[in-house]
Amino acid sequence: MTRPVFGRGLRPLAITTALATAAAGALVFFYAPIEADQGFSQKIFYIHVPMAIVALLGFVAAGVMGIRHLRSRDRSWDLRSYVAIHLSIILGVGVLVTGSIWAKASWGHWWRWEEPVLVSFLIVFLLYCVYFPLRFSIEDPDRQARYSSVFAITAGAFVPLNFVAVRLAEQVLHPRVFSQTGGDLPGEMFLTLLVSLVAMALLFVTLWKLELSAKHAAQQLKRLRARLELQAERRAEERVSVGSPS
Amino acid sequence: MPDPVSGAGAYVAAAYIVFVTLVVVYVAIIGSKVARIERELDALARLVEEREP
Amino acid sequence: MTRAAAAILCKDLRIELRTRESVPAMALFALTVYILLHFGLDRDTLDGDLASGVLWVTLLLATVLAVNRLFANEREDGALDGLLLAPVDRTAVYLAKAAALFLYLVLLELVAVPAFALLLLAPGLGGALPELLAVLLVADLGLAAIGALVAALAAETRVRELVVPLFLLPLLVPVIIAGASATEPLLAAPQEADGLGGWLAFLALYDTVFVLVSLAVFDFLLDD
């Protein structure tokens, strides 16, 4: 079995993330123009949308990792999948909270059914919350990994379909006059959004590697301890059998 | 000239604070996990030293 | 493999015929929900979007009941091990269970839809019946495909009864979106078939994706 090392390249990655985040922050507050309709509160857009996109991509990527796990029977892929889902859920909380704040700031209500990103996120979030009780209710590690991968694949296939469905539904319910997320964005806003998106994606990968490294180290440690204790037991048995009169 | 801290600015600040808090809490949790690994490793090293006279 | 699937399906149907555990429960559940909603919504009749919503939500909740019971026979009698020891492709089990679920849903709808029309529907089903049937059948395919997969995923876990509704219902949100949107103009007065083709196409896409995913993935479940 190959022994993966998850923490490789973490430092340059983290540095790049820090630079990208700083650049994004600078663009958001000093470069992007103030939007006519919503004013200053439109700036939330630059943190809410990248979080949403990265989280959704994270869920889909976790599904792909699930496929790789099932095909290769290499459990490290299941671990990668698990951490990706874990991170995407945390980002998901952020998406819902910042989306809610944005809704309140721009339109005065804490929730907007018209925003397909927000609505489809709520559904996806509720779905993936089931991942953890399912995963931890299975004791056998091999079975746990397999069932988790099946979940990740099914849910990962669901994410884009769900988004399309919610989008279609909202179009029928609330015909969109102008688009919040995408559509015609002036050049400066688009650039700012892009840089923010890249920064958020880098942050995701950095944190993902960090958690993978920590989890993997903990696993290895547990196995090492078990082996050492087994060795100690065997040595103790040998000493007893040697010492007893034959 | 509208005060940027009250009104719209407060909401924007809140959103970014939420984001930063999530990241910091996450890093803190990983940090405590790493600290536990370090302690375990230390205990394990002592275990090995005891057994190698 | 289709012979094995057919054999499993016949066994399940025979058991269901004898014990009558799933379909009558689903039908009674649907009727109960109609009564609850009559009082809850404080309405004698519904039409349009409200009617559509009540019909579909009830259908989805009844599906949860069926999914919970889908592997019950195997679980309770320990027959799952017997099934797995037989030289049968896991996929045959999936096809059989999905087909059984599809049949249960169709049987349910044979009772629940007329009951709905009698009890709660204002304009009456009338001429929109073929379109309604089309939407129901296409949706049932998706419900059956996903329901069988979720049933297997949750079958052996301790938290099965929690996992099934919480996992199944979000997955079925696109079905309710498409189904309810397609049905709404059919149940309105005056009746029209507005945008039906688009929603049917979406349901067909959804069904295809999840049948393919389930077929690909099912071999890795029930693997003990």
Q: Does B35 touch chain A (CB under 8 A)?
A: no
CA-CA-CA-CA torsion sign (A37, A38, A39, A42): negative
A35 bridge partner residues: A39
- pLDDT by residue for chain C (224 residues), tens only, comes to 677 778 878 887 887 777 777 888 899 999 999 888 888 888 777 777 888 889 999 999 999 999 988 887 777 766 666 666 677 777 888 888 899 999 999 999 999 988 888 887 766 666 677 888 889 999 999 999 999 999 988 877 677 788 889 999 999 999 998 998 888 887 776 666 667 888 899 999 999 999 999 999 988 887 65
pLDDT score of A119 = 86
Listed ranges A2-16, A186-200, C37-51; the one with the highest mean pLDDT: A186-200
Decide if B5 is inside a domain.
Answer: no
Report the predicted TM-score, pTM, of the whole model to 2 decimal places. 0.86
Own/partner long-range contacts of B6-15 (Cβ < 8 Å, ≥24 apart): B8/A39, B8/A40, B8/A41, B8/A105, B9/A40, B11/A41, B11/A44, B11/A101, B11/A102, B11/A104, B11/A105, B12/A40, B12/A41, B12/A43, B12/A44, B12/A105, B14/A101, B15/A44, B15/A47, B15/A48, B15/A97, B15/A98, B15/A101, B15/A102
pLDDT at A181 over 70: no
Nearest to C46 by CA among C199, C192, C184, C193: C184
Decide if A236 is inside a domain.
Answer: no
pLDDT tens digit sequence for A209-237 = 999 999 999 988 988 888 888 888 888 88
Decide if B8 is inside a domain.
Answer: no
Listed ranges A11-15, A37-41, C65-69, C203-207; the one with the highest mean pLDDT: C203-207
The mean pLDDT of A199-215, rounded to a whole number, is: 93
Decide if A208 is inside a domain.
Answer: yes
Contacts of C163 in chain A (CB under 8 A): 130, 133-134, 137
pLDDT score of A129 = 92
Mutate to test the interface with A, among B3, B17, B18 (most CBs of A within 10 A): B18
The mean pLDDT of A102-131, rounded to a whole number, is: 85
Decide if B38 is inside a domain.
Answer: yes
Mutate to test the interface with C, among A161, A163, A173 (most CBs of C within 10 A): A161
Look over chain A and give the mean of its residue pLDDT values, rounded to a whole number.
Answer: 85
pLDDT score of C190 = 64
pLDDT score of B1 = 45
Q: Are A134 and C157 in contact (CB under 8 A)?
A: yes
pLDDT at A201 over 90: yes
Decide if A4 is inside a domain.
Answer: no
User: Taking each helix axis from N to C terminus, what angle separates A141-173 and A45-72, rounded to the nearest 10 degrees?
Assistant: 140
pLDDT score of A42 = 79
Higher pLDDT, B35 or A174: B35
Structural domains of chain A, count: 1
C46 bridge partner residues: C121
Low-confidence ranges of chain B (pLDDT < 70): 1-6, 53
pLDDT at A203 over 90: yes
Give the chains touching A; criterion: ≥3 Cβ pairs < 8 Å: B, C
Return d(Cα C95, Cα C65) in angstroms, integer. 19
Nearest to C138 by CA among C188, C66, C208, C68: C208
Structural domains of chain B, count: 1
Structural domain boundaries enclosing A124: 10-212
pLDDT at A171 over 50: yes
Decide if A108 is inside a domain.
Answer: yes
pLDDT at A182 over 60: no
Q: Does B39 touch chain A (CB under 8 A)?
A: no
Contacts of C216 in chain A (CB under 8 A): 153
Q: Are C47 and C123 in contact (CB under 8 A)?
A: yes
Contacts of A126 in chain C (CB under 8 A): 166, 170
pLDDT score of C213 = 93
Decide if A245 is inside a domain.
Answer: no
User: Taking each helix axis from N to C terminus, what angle separates A141-173 and C196-217, rounded to the nearest 10 degrees?
Assistant: 170
